[in-house]
Every structure is written in structure tokens, then in C-alpha cells.
Amino acid sequence: MPLMNGIEATRRIREEEGNYGVHIQIIALTAHERGEEEINKMDEVAASKRQEVEAALEVVSVAIATVEEKQDYESLAAAYKANLHLQSLIAANIRDEYTLLEEEEIRRENA
């Protein structure tokens, strides 16, 4: 992820979900391009179970079925509000990243 890695995204989701009284299931998929230490960090911040590629579809299917079984409109509304808030956090992150890039470009031009 270019602007926020999965570990940071998971931390932010876990911090914010408490404000809305919901638990968002996170399914982390990796190409194992990172070391075991980074993968273990994902576990430390409560990212959902690591799975091999063959099992990933099953995990996603079960997660979707679980949500469908528990369709509670109040929870869905709270999750929607949490999602909007997280989108605003991500947008702010992107804005900050572009600002830093612009400042860096100006410094290079003035150097």
C-alpha cells in the first residue's frame, strides 16, 4: 500500500471501531514479500488470520456469510459511519503525502 501499510491501517481501524461500537473483521493477505518479523507485527495488531492463497477464498466466503447472517441494520449504520470516518482519515493521509511531495519538489527546484 503506497501511503499507509497494512499494519498502520489495521491499527487505525482498531482504534476507530471502538468509537462506533462495531468490530470490523480484517482479512490480511500477503505475497510473503516481507520478512517474518513484519508478518508477526500484523498478528500483534490483531489482523485476521494469515492464510495461504488456496485458503484465502474460503476465509473471505466465511467472513461474508457471517456478516450476511448477522445483518443488523444498526450495526450496518454504525459500520457505514466508521467507514466514512476511515475514508476521511485516508483522504487526509493522501493530502499530507501530496503536500510533502510538493514541498520536496519545491526544495529541489530551489536547490
pLDDT digits (tens, 9 = 90+) for 38-47: 666 655 554 4
| Close Cβ partners of 111 (under 8 Å, ≥ 6 residues apart) | none
The torsion angle over the Cα atoms of residues 89, 92, 97 and 99, rounded to 10 degrees, is -170
For residue 58, the model assigns a pLDDT of 73
Closest CA to 78 of 35, 19, 26: 19
Binned at pLDDT 50, 70 and 90, residue 69 comes out as: low
